[in-house]
Amino acid sequence: MKSEVLNVTGMSGSACASIVTKALKAVPGVEQVSVSLNANQATVRFDEGRVSARQLEDALSQSGFGVASAKAPNSGCCGGCGG
């Protein structure tokens, strides 16, 4: 499993956060979605063998939202420590 933090653009309220959550959960291979409206971020845990970060971005785009950038979480071997 892989986790990706997506900086979502275009969210303005709880209804938007709900749409983002549903759009991402509908992608085959997505295991868990957590949306922070205050941070404008969605943290997605997914099976990288079934889905790519690009597919997650496409799902958001099709739902009317954008992604400013994607970054690795601040833990594990995903670059969070800078090493």
Query: CATH no. for residue 58?
Result: 3.30.70.100
Percentage of the residues of the chain whose pLDDT score is greater than 70 = 82
Q: What is the mean pLDDT of the chain?
A: 87
Residue pointed to by tokens 């950038």: 69
Position 78 in a domain: no
* Mean pLDDT on 12-34: 96
Quote the domain boundaries for residue 30: 2-71
* Cβ atoms within 10 Å, residue 67: 19
Structural domain includes residue 83? no
Q: Per-residue pLDDT tens for 46-82?
A: 999 999 999 999 999 999 999 986 455 555 555 555 5
The greatest distance separating any two alpha carbons of the chain, rounded to the nearest whole angstrom, comes to 38
Count of domains in the chain? 1
Asked whether residue 44 is domain-assigned, the answer is yes
Q: Is residue 62 part of a domain?
A: yes
Q: Answer whether residue 34 is part of any domain.
A: yes
